Structure 1
């Protein structure tokens, strides 16, 4: 499904919940190739707590956020806590991050999300950042390839940066974000697994 098809078939009252669900990791990937400006506007605006349907496509709100250094700091912070495995199970008091790829030779009888293709990981740390993490953990199709902004935007020449700049992102925010995203290790285990 493309973003345009989603927007055309979604009831106005369900716009926020429908778009959140469509960009969520493990959901069927939505193709944003033909309309990246609208997709990025939605993803930026979804980071706002209590976003309403009428503000989801608001380019001015999006522009304000993309020009705000504090907004970038707020969305970059949860990007480093993307994970492949839930550290909170079975003990919810656990802290840390596990970001690793499962071995290729898992037995067929294992039921695990590790067998699914990894695009960008999900988020786990502080529930107050759950909206902010949507910008970098959302998954979609870009030019026929599975994509996640936390990975794509490490490349300062990625075409989505030019779309973000058209939406109002400053060059200094772009450079800082690309630098910080590229410093996040691809794989990391910083919890005691015993």
Structure 2
């Protein structure tokens, strides 16, 4: 599917075919696309928890107030972020760069994040949001439907997946084959209401 068609066709689908299985090749293709998403300083702070265990999916569904897409989608990805990725061997993010680039970037990474917890968290949300959109558009391009989700008990899900203390959950993305079309778009704001030129 052409990219603009994918953008227009992508909707938050709530009803998936629980009998449909996605091939390992398709899963790898989607996740390989997601990790091409941009991150500040190339820190690649997203972590993709692919939940395949049916019993765990059922528990997560309970923590998501019974939403069927958690168990019925072919692929459930919990997008998390490592808040401390910036200080965990940051040279590996720039191993293929020139020595000059490394000497400039590595101290800049430390200076940008150290002691700034709100910056670390904001960056996590930005990075995972970009990755989620990449994942959903890639799924659309492969003929799948998707649903971004934040309607769940974050603390309960964190316990279920043994979330490390220095990580946060940002959202879910459920991917599969729809069994019911989504509602028509409820109403997009006009461009002249949301596009501001130069300043407010």
Normalising by structure 2, report the TM-score.
Answer: 0.26
Question: Larger radius of gyration, structure 1 or 2?
Answer: 2
Higher relative contact order (CA 8 A, sep 6+): 2
Which has more strand, going by share of residues?
Answer: 2
Report the TM-score when normalising by structure 1: 0.26
